[in-house]
A and B are shown apart, each in its own frame.
Chain A
């Protein structure tokens, strides 16, 4: 009898000692087409969670990241969102494709669970569904083109070419580009698409050359296909300036497109001179021994934003977190100097429209910032 009493006491004591954790779900892609972006972003998120836990966690409890792999398959993505909700996640971070994030939204809306994507930039994510539990802090396609255009305004373009790929994000960003360009009274004289798996972009570039544009806007997000475009550009010897989407901010272009991208301007949500960035890069190197890139910052900011919301909510109640998230006013790693994430007027896209910078490739490296914001 006394033996069982002792066991009971031990078990009871054990359960008291076992700390409760704050569960945050994370859906990423480890094997599919989103892997080049999802992988570093996930590493950044994991680093962020570990950093918070080292400093004592949130509200005295440690963060537990529940990581799921949706293989870029939207039907699995929705099921995984449900799994995370069932496991008690109070927030879900979506680090996979935009359609997968969309699919997860139908679940989080029904389950009244907060969800956010720090990286997806498709405009339709906050407009297609009216989901009060979803926030998007990635740099929207519409912000990208507005920033690019502001930088190029001095050149006074009237006729430009637009080129993209046939991925869903590439098409979404091209749509945003097209809308803004047309509204600014600029004529799009050529509108081309490079398919995934193409062996060359020569016919598209020839068509663009024949239309004689003053500049070319690149909305594509598939790195290999963008490299095809740059090769064709060089082979055809055309000279018009190229303005590119944020995909060019991925550092791999420095190696895989060496010699091809000097002079290309691109929008980025990352200013290497920003103090928060410098602090992050140093901390990441110290903590993991590895170098970081801008993609890590998206994941890191995502976790930080969630932690900030939970702290302000003062509890793990999903409704309180929702209200607190909507009141976010936070300066993260991404964004121009001084930019803060915020969701004004009940909007759910939180990246400041003036928060992107335009940078240019110089000497095969990602170079200086030449423009900030949309003024």
Chain B
């Protein structure tokens, strides 16, 4: 029984990380429909930012965290400016920005790869090793609460929703589409970078950590449904619990246990493709 409780806390923390990445996707998909697989690389940059500021230069944790997130927001804004806006302005098909962002994924990864030694780099915990999980959960809940509040209660958030529902109508109502898009990328990058920074003390900062995170986040997003912010978090929890409970309790050899969440996902998609939480009517 004690195992289960310990596992539940651990899975919740992992689920929070997946949820943050899923939220990053969501922030960009809702207003623009663009799937940005480079969120994993943004998380990686967050992790390396943590290494540089917190390990190498030993800044105090809150200052380091704030600067890393702010830096990522700038990176997100720049990414939108360079790789997305020119395409949207030219009326390119939706596929084009998705591919440009995939190209940026390679650029981000390689830039980090040539700038740092290839081994994994240590990133410090916010508190003690056992408390990191609670820290992750607390921060994630705060971020999601903020995101929910933003979408539900603020005017800015409502304009996001309007753009998500109908771009043309939103533009006609005077909503500045460019600003919304730029903001969504900046916010998405900040959230993704935060996720990377939070998970890095455990998994270490390394140049290949981006793609697995991007895939896990995408999975969480689809499970939870793109319609609602809470869905991202729910999807993250479900994915993490499915993965970890299977490894711990399923009576199958270790190697096969990796396949179970994948199988589960495929079956889930066939049965309930729109995700668990329906969008608001």
Q: Contact size class for B?
A: 35 or more
Q: Which A residues touch B120, using CB under 8 A?
A: 223-224, 227, 252, 256
* Residues B122 and A235 in contact, CB atoms below 8 Å apart: no
Q: Which of B155-163, B165-173, B223-231, B254-262 contacts A (4 or more CB under 8 A)?
A: B254-262
B82-90, B93-101, B209-217: which lies at the interface: B209-217
Assess the B14–A199 pair: CB atoms within 8 A.
Answer: yes
User: Is A166 within 8 A of B258, CB to CB?
Assistant: yes
Nearest Cβ on chain B to A175's Cβ, whole angstroms: 11
A234 to B201, CA, bound (A): 14
Interface centre among B113, B119, B216 (most CB of A within 10 A): B119
With A196-B212, A197-B212, A197-B216 as given contacts, are A206 and B255 in contact (CB-CB < 8 Å)? no
List, in ascending order, chain B residues with CB within 8 A of A31's CB.
Answer: 110, 113
Q: Which residues on the B side are within 8 Å of A200 (C-beta)?
A: 10, 13-14, 202, 244
Q: Does B203 contact A (CB under 8 A)?
A: yes
What separation, in Å, do the CA atoms of A62 and B99 have in the docked complex? Answer: 47
Interface secondary structure of A, over-half rule? helix
Interface SS majority for chain B: helix
A195 within 8 A of B: yes
Contact yes or no, B199 A199, CB < 8 A: yes
A228 at the interface (CB under 8 A from B): yes
CA distance A207 to B248 in the complex (A): 6
A-B contact count (CB 8 A): 95
Task: Please indicate the chain A residues that have their CB under 8 angstroms from the CB of B6 in the complex.
Answer: 202, 206, 236
Cα separation A202 to B6 with both chains bound (whole Å)? 9
A33 engages B208 (CB within 8 Å): yes
Q: A31-B113, A223-B119 in contact; A231/B3 too (CB < 8 A)? A: no
Select one of B113, B203, B207, B248 contacting A199, CB under 8 A: B203
In chain A, positions 203-238 with a C-beta closer than 8 Å to chain B are 203-204, 206-207, 209-210, 223-224, 227-228, 231, 234-236
Kindly provide the distance from the CB of A296 to the nearest chain B CB, expressed in whole angstroms: 14
Interface string of B17-29 (1 = CB under 8 A from A): 1000000000000
Verify if A258 is at the interface (C-beta below 8 Å from B): yes
Q: How far is the CB of B276 from chain A (nearest CB, A)?
A: 22
- List chain A residues, Cβ under 8 A from B258: 166, 193, 195
Which chain A positions have C-beta within 8 A of B247? Answer: 192, 203-204, 207
Contact check, A228 vs B202: say whether CB atoms are below 8 A apart: yes
Question: Known contacts A197-B213, A255-B122; is A206 also within 8 Å of B248 by CB?
Answer: yes
Name which residue of chain B comes closest to A39, CB basis. Answer: B118
Using known A-B contacts A199-B14, A235-B129, determine if residue A35 contacts B113 with beta carbons closer than 8 Å.
yes
Which residues of B have CB within 8 Å of A223? 119-120, 204, 206
B7 near A: Cβ within 8 Å? yes
Q: B136 to nearest A CB, angstroms?
A: 10
Q: How far apart are the CA atoms of A193 and B256 in the complex, in Å?
A: 9
List 18 A-B pairs, Cβ < 8 Å: A36-B119, A166-B255, A171-B255, A195-B258, A197-B211, A199-B240, A200-B13, A200-B202, A202-B7, A202-B10, A203-B247, A204-B248, A206-B3, A223-B204, A234-B129, A235-B130, A250-B119, A252-B119
